[in-house]
């Protein structure tokens, strides 16, 4: 099979496309003929040698990637034969191996994908979708809310805009540049603002005409987060799930005492009833058409280009590799 391998930590150019041996599923495992593999900003951090939330850095050489969708083409011992030939999606957890034509995972990680749901969309929901829904648990929007979403054209941001709009909230989506703001507007935001413009907070305040924001879903941090938090009224909530403005290394969240809450980690899973519960809910939202992830597609062989585009914020929605 063909796969992307990383032999040394460093820039995106270190990702190489080559032929490797086909993986063989062990007991309790299946092999998936991959149709779509998710790319995450964490993948870029790991590629550079940062440990991130993993117990340790991946051992080299490695095949990156932790989100795959495709068709089960081989079964290990003890696996129900009914999985063979099914369209599935799985998050591989801490085990890498997704950037490949074939990937192996435990059968217990599988979710069946209905025929009408695009496999790239399923990949977006198994990781990015579950995170978006996990975030909203801490501040469920409603018709009385004004919700601000920085990075509203990103994978999580796209879904947060839709979720808040579906709940009846008024949504302000922030994105970088006219192409992205146009996508945010088309996605249902009441106002789409270019946060690279120096006067964007004034544009938001004029639009709201004295009404304060009530929720900020923030995965950006930095100056954008500081200005977004300043839009909140008394009792407003700032939910923090990332700080991409500081890069993919050792960035730090922008936090305001009594206003901000970091929502990633065990608290999110405890609230949801576990990771699988979030995954099931996310896939159901997509299958039933309530949430529609945006996807930027690259051929598997162009994984390095996908990483570069993601790092320079040149993508919209979830980045997916297709063999």
* Residues 20-32 pLDDT 10s: 999 999 999 999 9
The reported pLDDT for the residue numbered 254 is 85
Quick one: pLDDT at residue 313?
Answer: 86
Q: What is the helix (H) or strand (E) element at residue 173, kind and residue range?
A: strand 170-175
First to last CA, the chain: 10
| Across 11-15, 246-250, 296-300, least confident range | 246-250
- Contact between 176 and 157 under an 8 Å Cβ cutoff? The reply is no
CA distance 239 to 217: 5
pLDDT-based confidence at residue 244 (cuts at 50, 70, 90):
confident
Range of weakest confidence among 14-18, 119-123, 265-269, 288-292:
265-269
Q: What is the pLDDT of residue 161?
A: 98
pLDDT above 70 as % of the chain: 97
pLDDT at 249 over 60: no
Unique residue bearing structure tokens 């919700």: 147
pTM: 0.93
pLDDT exceeds 90 at position 253: no
What mean pLDDT, rounded, does the chain reach? 94
DSSP 12: G
Query: What separation in angstroms does the CA of 286 have from each of 32, 114, 117, 277, 290?
Result: 21, 10, 8, 15, 6
Residue 235 has pLDDT above 80, yes or no: yes
Topology annotation, domain 2-127+293-322: Quinone Oxidoreductase; Chain A, domain 1 (3.90.180)
Which pLDDT score is estimated for 116? 96
Instruction: Check pLDDT > 80 for residue 246.
Output: no
| Residue 206 pLDDT greater than 80, yes or no | yes
pLDDT tens digit sequence for 104-138:
999 999 999 999 999 999 999 999 999 999 999 99
The token pair that represents 188 in the structure block: 């249902």
Q: Which two tokens stand for residue 164?
A: 């808040």
Per the listing, tokens 């997704």 go with 98
Q: What pLDDT does 248 receive?
A: 54
Per residue in 310-319, pLDDT (tens digit) is 998 889 999 9
CATH code: domain 139-262 is: 3.40.50.720
> How is the chain split into domains, by residue range?
2-127+293-322, 139-262
Residue 208 near residue 184 (C-beta atoms within 8 A): no
Distances 190 to 52, 169, 171, 244, 263 between C-alpha atoms, Å: 35, 9, 5, 24, 25
Question: How confident is residue 94, by pLDDT bands cut at 50, 70 and 90?
Answer: confident
Helical H segments across 95-253, by residue range: 119-124, 130-136, 155-166, 178-186, 200-208, 222-229
Give the pLDDT mean for 240-250: 69
């Amino acid at each position: 099979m063909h796969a992307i391998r990383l032999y040394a930590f460093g820039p995106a150019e270190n990702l190489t496309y080559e032929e490797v041996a086909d993986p063989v599923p062990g007991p309790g495992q299946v092999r998936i003929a991959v149709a779509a593999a998710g790319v995450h900003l964490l993948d870029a951090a790991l590629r550079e040698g940062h440990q991130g939330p993993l117990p340790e850095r991946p051992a080299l050489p490695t095949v990156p990637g932790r989100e795959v969708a495709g068709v089960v083409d081989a079964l290990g011992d003890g696996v129900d034969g009914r999985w063979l030939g099914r369209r599935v999606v799985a998050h591989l957890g801490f085990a890498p191996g997704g950037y490949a034509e074939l990937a192996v995972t435990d059968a217990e990680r599988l979710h069946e994908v209905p025929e009408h749901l695009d496999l790239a969309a399923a990949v977006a929901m198994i990781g990015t979708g579950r995170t978006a829904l996990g975030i909203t648990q801490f501040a469920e929007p409603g018709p009385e809310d004004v919700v601000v979403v920085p990075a509203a054209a990103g994978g999580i941001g796209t879904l947060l805009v839709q979720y808040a709009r579906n709940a009846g909230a008024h949504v302000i989506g922030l994105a970088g540049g006219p192409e992205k703001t146009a996508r945010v507007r088309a996605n249902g935001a009441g106002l789409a603002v270019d946060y690279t413009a120096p006067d964007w907070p004034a544009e938001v305040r004029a639009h709201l005409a004295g009404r304060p924001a009530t929720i900020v879903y923030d995965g950006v941090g930095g100056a954008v987060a500081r200005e977004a938090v300043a839009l909140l009224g008394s009792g407003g909530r700032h939910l923090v799930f990332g700080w991409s403005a500081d890069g993919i290394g050792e960035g730090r969240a922008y936090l305001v005492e009594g206003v901000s809450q970091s929502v990633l980690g065990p608290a999110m899973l405890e609230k949801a009833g576990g990771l699988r519960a979030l995954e099931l809910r996310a896939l159901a939202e997509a299958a039933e058409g309530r949430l529609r992830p945006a996807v930027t597609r690259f051929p598997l062989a162009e994984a390095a280009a996908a990483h570069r585009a993601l790092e320079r914020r040149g993508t919209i929605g979830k980045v997916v590799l297709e063999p």
